[in-house]
Amino acid sequence: MDKDLLVKAKFPTPIDHDAVASDWAARGYGCHLFVDPPGQKWLGFVHDTNELVMVTEGLLEVSVNGQTTVLEPGDEIFIPRHGVHDVINRSGGVTRWLYGYD
C-alpha cells in the first residue's frame, strides 16, 4: 500500500470518536460511523470527493486503485477522489469504522 495513503496506528486505541472527528474537521472532513456485519463487501465504489476511513473495531480490507491492505483499529487510509475502492469486513464479527468526505 502506498505510504501516502495509509497511516498505521494514526489514532490510539480504544478509539475516541470525538478526537478523530476533531482531527478530521481540522482537515476539512466529516466523520460518521458505519457498522458492517461479518462478510459485508462494498465493491467498486468511486466518489467525487476525497475520503478518509479509520477502523474503530474489527478488521477491514481496503483496496484503492488495485492496492490492498487490512486496516486494524487506529489505522487511517486516504481514498483520493475518483479512486476505485473496495471495503470488505475481514473480521469474524462486526466491524465498526469511521468515514468522512471533504
Residue 14, Cβ neighbours under 10 Å: how many?
10
Q: Categorize the per-residue pLDDT at 4 as very low, low, confident or very high, splitting at 50, 70 and 90.
A: confident
> What is the Cα–Cα distance from 95 to 83, expressed in whole angstroms?
22
Domains of the chain: 6-101 (2.60.120.10)
Q: Which residue has the cell 489514532?
A: 11
What is the 8-class DSSP label of residue 3? T
pTM: 0.93
pLDDT digits 0-9 by tens, 41-72 = 999 999 999 999 999 999 999 999 999 999 99
pLDDT digits 0-9 by tens, 14-35 = 999 999 999 999 999 999 999 9
From 16, 7, 1, 22, select the one nearest 64 (Cα to Cα). 1
Beta strands in 2-75, from DSSP E residues, in sequence order: 6-7, 32-36, 41-45, 51-57, 60-64, 67-71
What is the structure's pLDDT at 87? 96
